[in-house]
Amino acid sequence: MVLSSIGEQNMRSFCLFAISLIVCLSGCTTYVGLHQPEKLLVPQGHATVETIQTAIRTGASKQGWKVVDEGANYLIVSSEPYWRARYPVIQVSYSLYSVDFAYVSSRNLRYTYVTEGKQLVRRDYNKMVNGLVQAIRHEMQKSRRTGI
């Protein structure tokens, strides 16, 4: 009787541990904190609003992003259609001094708003946005070197 009670407690503890482990591991692979890229400083020299916008468009295009809307000093870009129909929509605001990135929306990236400073999203989002930021940075530096 005592032996079976100990066996049941061990089995119950093991099951609870296994379930907890599965929940933790599945959450780790799916959700990460939404990365808000730091603003890019525009290299000074021959920078104009037009050259900055061209660098943004070219960098975005090279990463598979398309401009879906635009306004005074901002572009809305999306990577739609993207692998497995997962894509973000990002606002890229620019001035003569900096380029800022802001989350607008996404599809199938499991965006979850927790609090003002805490949003969760699939890991793919951060990879895509980091690629976009790096491509735009590269294009701005290239346009500065070439003087275009």
pLDDT digit string, tens, across residues 48-80: 999 999 999 999 999 999 999 999 999 999 987
Question: Which tens digits make up the pLDDT trace of 5-41?
Answer: 566 777 777 666 656 545 544 544 578 888 889 999 9
Which pair of tokens denotes residue 70? Answer: 């635009």
In the sheet with 31-33, reading across from the earlier edge strand, the strands are: 31-33, 118-122, 112-115
Amino acid letter, 2 = V
Give the span between the Cα atoms of 10 and 32, in whole angstroms. 33
Give the span between the Cα atoms of 117 and 124, in whole angstroms. 20
Determine if the peptide bond prior to 37 is cis (ω within 30°).
no
Q: Single out the residue of 84, 68, 70, 69 nearest to residue 128, CA to CA.
A: 84
- Entry pTM: 0.74
* Helix or strand holding residue 36 (H, E): none
Question: Which tens digits make up the pLDDT trace of 88-105?
Answer: 999 999 999 999 999 999
